[in-house]
Structure 1
Amino acid sequence: MPIATLGAVVLDCPDPLALARFYAAVIGGTIKGDSDSRWVDLVDAPGTPLAFQAAPGFVPPRWPRTDGSQQFHLDLAVEDLDAAEREVLALGARPLDTEDRKRSFRVYADPAGHPFCLCAC
């Protein structure tokens, strides 16, 4: 029997509500929190819940450098890589590793700088 179950993946960031809005637009869900919140939950989205926590002095990971390790990233399954790419870029993501268009994944940074992958399913 396991000791625990995964409750949520929590992302440190400078603006929890703004980052929650980005991920709500990407994966769906409902935002629980407001502009004064230091903690915002994204609920009712498929998969593991996400939460966002204000981190004073937040410094985003520097992918793929080892002196600014990403520590973790999110793999987001999509039907159409090109369409999903257009949408996440319009929402404020920036490309990190998208040159190889034959691969089944592409790497981006969310607006706070966390790496995530769009993966063809």
Structure 2
Amino acid sequence: MSLAKVGAVVLDCPDPHALAGFYAGVLGGTVVDEEDWVELKVPGGPVVAFQTAPEYVPPTWPSPEGSQQFHLDLTVEDLDAAEKEVLALGAKPLDADDRARTFRVYADPVGHPFCLCAC
């Protein structure tokens, strides 16, 4: 028996509506708007929520002086096709040059790192 379960993964950002739109484009799901708090309800997955952080500073990756805090691993069937789509949605490549690996690293439009991972 577990003590708790994940209710939501919450990302700070300057504009929760815009970032929820980005992740809805990547993950699908339904965006539920509550002003400074926006939720993305993804079927079969945890809620991904976005909250306003006026002083938001994106993490640096990679950085020996800083921390990325956390990142999302998103599994995909086709790395090349998924890469094309996330770049079109506004992601930026951070470490996607090694085509032999089973994952590639990107930043969302406000700088949170995430990986596309082959399943």
The TM-score with structure 1 as length reference comes to 0.94
Q: Which residue of 1 aligns with 2:48?
A: 50
Query: Which string of whole-angstrom CA distances, capped at 9 and with x for unpartnered residues, describes residues 13-70 of structure 1?
Result: 0000000000000001000006xx1100001433221000000110000011133311
Q: Is the 8 A contact 1:84 1:118 kept in 2?
A: yes
Structure 1 unaligned blocks of 5 or more: none
Structure 2 unaligned blocks of 5 or more: none
Tell me the percent identity. 69
Distance (whole Å) between structure 1 residues aligned to residue 66 and residue 58 of structure 2? 8
Distance (whole Å) between structure 2 residues aligned to residue 112 and residue 68 of structure 1? 17
Please identify runs of 4+ aligned residues in structure 1 that moved more than 3 A.
none
Equivalent residue runs for 1:72-87 within 5 Å: 72-87=70-85
Distance (whole Å) between structure 1 residues aligned to residue 89 and residue 36 of structure 2? 22
Q: Which residue of 2 aligns with 1:95?
A: 93
1:18 and 2:18 are equivalent in the alignment = yes
The SS at the match of 1:9 is strand
Distance (whole Å) between structure 2 residues aligned to residue 105 and residue 90 of structure 1? 18
Aligned residue identity for 2:36: R
Between the two proteins, the alignment pairs up a number of residues equal to 119
Query: Which string of whole-angstrom CA distances, capped at 9 and with x for unpartnered residues, describes residues 56-94 of structure 1?
Result: 110000011133311110000000000000000000000
What is the aligned-residue RMSD (CA, Å)?
1.1
In the TM superposition, residue 95 of structure 1 has moved relative to its aligned partner by 0.1
Q: Which residue of 2 aligns with 1:59?
A: 57
Aligned residue identity for 1:8: A
The TM-score with structure 2 as length reference comes to 0.95
The SS at the match of 2:23 is helix
Distance (whole Å) between structure 1 residues aligned to residue 46 and residue 98 of structure 2? 29
Distance (whole Å) between structure 2 residues aligned to residue 12 and residue 68 of structure 1? 17
